[in-house]
Chains A and B, each alone.
Chain A
Amino acid sequence: MKDAAFIALENVRKVYGAGGSTPYTALSDVTLAVDEGELVSIVGPSGCGKSTLLMILAGLTTHEGGTVRIGTEAAPFDPSRDIGMVFQQALLLNWRTILDNVLLPAELLHLPMKPARDRARALLDLVGLGGQEEKYPRQLSGGQRQRVAIARALIHDPRLIMMDEPFGALDALTREKMNLELLRIWEASGKTILFVTHGISEAVLLGSRIAVMTAGPARMAAAIDVDLPYPRTLDMKTHERFGDYTRQVYDLLGMT
């Protein structure tokens, strides 16, 4: 028997204010399967319901139709322990050191603190901030703060990392650098990553697959397999195949 997918979404539908006078359909029809360990880019225009999709997966909001399944019978998924989230804003607590910021999820989940502290140091090493544990967020650049946010998302060893435009507020060069860093961290950690972005070239560079969503009403247009070898490099962006994938995404978004 073939292994079931790690995440299986079928015809998922989300309506805000259902039954009210002005219901708003945030997602009309989303179908997506993700295998464990995959890095899937989710790309689409503003208002296409990408963030709503992440909230449904995190169990923070309900859905009105379709099925959502994460995990398998052999390895059930615990949404409180198995999800790490990264947002556009790093959301660091100014009054805590970098190390204590990374430890926040461990505290909220009441994990044993001593091993968590060792793990936090190892994760800060992984994201390239070794030796900066005692600094405060104000002393870091925007890119460094996002590195802390990534380390924080990994501290409780979740199986799924959901990133909602994590590099959207960074300048273009820092953003490309962080793309490479994320690929490195992904390969080192082996996590499943859902990466929401509206940067098309970012989506192609990172994802083993790209889920393209369209707005009004929000639905999944298609999923494109990106057959470019890992480890990926920035110069792949100049390759003809990279251009082909980019064009496919533009086509699906109706922008050509």
Chain B
Amino acid sequence: MPQTPPPGLGRTLSRYGGPVLAHLAVLALWQAVASLPSMPAYILPSPVETLATLGDPGNAWVSNTLVTATEIVGGFAIAVVVGVGIALLFSWSRTMLDWGMPLLVTLNMIPKVALGPIIIVWMSYGIGTNTVIAFAICFFPIVITTARGLAEIEPEMLYLARSLRATKWQIFRKIQFPGSLPYIFSGMKVAAVLAVAGAIVGEFIGSERGLGYLMLQVQINLDTATMFMCVLLISMIGMLLYGAVDLLERLTFGKEDGG
């Protein structure tokens, strides 16, 4: 019997059915393993026990989540602005590129996490400090990918523009910058994931608020369920940020893939 593509609802199911089932299967496995009589809750709390921690007002979920989200989104946003800005300088000035790029590559070798304690010495701890750590960890990929995107222009395209006596600004605005957008978005996606790690590391090293701080507080009591909930919320912040970048990318490129 010939296979026909399933229409409407069927197609939605066949596209999303697999991923949804895979996620549900992991959740079920988690619940099953956690329900084993030999499994203590401080090693592996069940999904239900994890969700139940949301009811504990002592965890100050809303304010802790907002603090962490602020650090992540703030560090990410600064990284996008500074990262794209530096890449632009590189593309405008040959000297900046020749001097700056090797320096950046060297600096990138520093494990940014190791800078955390130093940044805390400089800035004391708080939201601002963790924002800076998130920024430091996620801005390199944005510089590198944006610089590559801006450099990607074909030499013949430059001849073509120059034969029409296009100005540097015209070439940038009409050809170079739009052409680099896919690169900027891919750099932003990598950065979105890294920013989450940066903010949490900052909170681990020294802080008095945020989900990373909460994790350390409840760890003392072996409250693993609350720690799991923290991890879930942190992951969700990261997913929302990533999703926002992805949505922005789709809105930007929506038309040209159409048809």
Interface residues of A (CB under 8 A from B): 55, 58-60, 79-80, 83, 85, 87-89, 91, 93-95, 104-105, 107-109, 135-136, 138-139, 156, 164
Q: Is the beta-carbon distance between A95 and B256 smaller than 8 angstroms? A: yes
Closest A residue to B155 by beta carbon equals A87
Closest B residue to A87 by beta carbon equals B156
Q: Is the beta-carbon distance between A108 and B170 smaller than 8 angstroms? A: yes
Residues from 243 to 259 in B contacting A, C-beta threshold 8 Å: 253, 255-259
Closest A residue to B159 by beta carbon equals A60
Closest A residue to B171 by beta carbon equals A108
- Interface residues of B, count at CB 8 A: 23
Q: Is the beta-carbon distance between A108 and B164 smaller than 8 angstroms? A: yes
Q: Is the beta-carbon distance between B161 and A108 smaller than 8 angstroms? A: yes
On chain B, the residues within 8 Å of A80 by CB distance are 163-165
Residues from 126 to 175 in B contacting A, C-beta threshold 8 Å: 154, 156-157, 159-166, 170, 174-175
Point out the residue from A59, A87, A88, A95 that lies within 8 Å of B253, measured CB to CB: A95
On chain A, the residues within 8 Å of B165 by CB distance are 79-80, 108-109
| Distance in angstroms between the alpha carbons of A93 and B177 in the assembled complex | 11
Q: Is the beta-carbon distance between B256 and A85 smaller than 8 angstroms? A: no
Q: Is the beta-carbon distance between A93 and B179 smaller than 8 angstroms? A: yes
Q: Is the beta-carbon distance between B174 and A85 smaller than 8 angstroms? A: no
Q: Closest approach, in angstroms, between the C-beta of A165 and any C-beta of chain B?
A: 11
| Distance in angstroms between the alpha carbons of A135 and B258 in the assembled complex | 9
Q: Closest approach, in angstroms, between the C-beta of B188 and any C-beta of chain A?
A: 17
On chain A, the residues within 8 Å of B164 by CB distance are 80, 83, 105, 108-109, 156
| Distance in angstroms between the alpha carbons of A29 and B212 in the assembled complex | 74
Q: Is the beta-carbon distance between B259 and A91 smaller than 8 angstroms? A: no
Q: Is the beta-carbon distance between A89 and B163 smaller than 8 angstroms? A: no
Known: A91-B154, A108-B164, A108-B174. A58 touches B259 (CB 8 A): no
Q: Is the beta-carbon distance between A93 and B255 smaller than 8 angstroms? A: no
On chain A, the residues within 8 Å of B166 by CB distance are 108
Q: Is the beta-carbon distance between A93 and B259 smaller than 8 angstroms? A: no
Q: Is the beta-carbon distance between A89 and B178 smaller than 8 angstroms? A: no
Q: Closest approach, in angstroms, between the C-beta of A148 and any C-beta of chain B?
A: 13
Q: Closest approach, in angstroms, between the C-beta of B110 and any C-beta of chain A?
A: 36
Q: Is the beta-carbon distance between B163 and A104 smaller than 8 angstroms? A: no
A-B contact pairs, 15 of them (CB 8 A): A60-B162, A60-B163, A83-B163, A85-B159, A87-B160, A91-B160, A93-B174, A93-B175, A94-B179, A95-B181, A95-B256, A105-B164, A136-B256, A136-B258, A136-B259
| Distance in angstroms between the alpha carbons of A92 and B181 in the assembled complex | 16
